[in-house]
Chain A
Amino acid sequence: MKENFLIVIIFFLGVLLSHFNLIPPILYKSDLFKYTLYVLLFLVGVSTGSNKKLLGKVKKIKYKIILVPLFTVLGTTFGIILLHFIFKRYSLKDLLGIGWGFGYYSLSSILLKDLRNDTISLMALLSNIFREIFTLLATPLLVKITGKFSAISSGGATSMDTTLPIITRFTGEEYSIISIFHGAVLTILVPIMITLLYK
């Protein structure tokens, strides 16, 4: 949570410093971003591969657990496709790119800056920050109205870390395992799906 707050602060610090021309051009006119992004993608893989919570728990629970992240992907995609019928300012591809961040705003915005442009990247950042905030605020209500899975689904990739405490509190301990699994699967799917989208 603290780390996420810091990410937003660092982002706006960058915006302000460059807006008032306090950054030497050498820093942003290089391929440094691209190569550092590659390092990040490798590290995302490492953190997934070494996730002990992930593998140990899958074995204990029925195979059905895989349906939970699958339905989140299908649901978000479905919602975005519907939106595209009335919101044609952006291409379906870009809308999906933003939506497929599943709340993982740091990675999705960084990826989309490389694959697309600043506008789509900024939208991914804002949209996915909002997904996290929405989940933090709405979880108690969601559990009551649309059920326990809906809170996990709303959390997207964040259901394994930032939104996990609130989800666990309102759905119960047994759902926290599903929530961690769900978040971990989406976390690794975010870079894969966004990369394949713009292939």
Chain B
Amino acid sequence: MLYALLLIFSGVITGFLINKKKKTIEIPAKLMLFVIYFLIFFLGISIGKNETLIKSFFKIGLESIFITLAGISGSLIFALILEKFFFEEK
């Protein structure tokens, strides 16, 4: 786990340095997308092998939507608080 965090932060520092030299950052962005494609494909493979998961796909999908709605609802309430108490127009 520590490795994961170290990698993220060393990435941020590397990014800062690249930014300073004002070189184009198109390459990491494109590379990142390809890495994501690869990993998502891998994830698909793993899930396709999982028979029970495939069978309960719709149930799981429905549960996922509940989780999203709960998260968004909480966010909306807090956004309202933010606007009322911290960003009220003079």
Q: Is A5 an interface residue (CB 8 A)?
A: no
Q: Is A181 an interface residue (CB 8 A)?
A: no
Which of B5, B19, B43, B81 meets A121, CB within 8 Å?
A: B43
Q: Mark B44-72, 1 if CB is under 8 A from A, else 0.
A: 11111110011001001101111111111
Please count how many residues in chain A sit with their CB below 8 Å of the partner chain's CB atoms. Answer: 90
A102 to chain B, nearest CB (A): 8
Asked whether, in the complex, the Cβ of B41 is within 8 Å of the Cβ of A40, the reply is: no
Asked whether, in the complex, the Cβ of B71 is within 8 Å of the Cβ of A41, the reply is: no
A142 to chain B, nearest CB (A): 7
User: B50 to chain A: which residues have CB within 8 Å?
Assistant: 118
Q: Is the interface of B mostly helix, strand, loop or mixed?
A: helix
Which of B35, B37, B73, B76 meets A43, CB within 8 Å?
A: B35
Q: Is A46 an interface residue (CB 8 A)?
A: yes
User: How many CB-defined contacts (below 8 Å) exist between A and B?
Assistant: 275
User: B15 to chain A: which residues have CB within 8 Å?
Assistant: 45-51
Q: Is the interface of A mostly helix, strand, loop or mixed?
A: helix
Asked whether, in the complex, the Cβ of B75 is within 8 Å of the Cβ of A14, the reply is: no
15 interchain pairs (CB within 8 A)?
A: A19-B48, A28-B45, A42-B14, A43-B31, A48-B12, A50-B19, A76-B71, A79-B70, A82-B74, A98-B67, A99-B67, A109-B40, A124-B64, A127-B67, A154-B72
Residues of A within 8 A of B (CB): 3, 6-7, 10-19, 23, 27-28, 32-33, 36-52, 64, 67-68, 71-72, 74-80, 82-83, 87, 89-90, 95, 98-99, 106-107, 109-110, 113, 118-119, 121-128, 130-131, 134, 142, 146-150, 152-154, 156, 188, 191-192, 195-196, 198-199
Residues of B within 8 A of A (CB): 1, 3-5, 7-19, 25, 28-29, 31-33, 35-50, 53-54, 57, 60-61, 63-83, 86-87
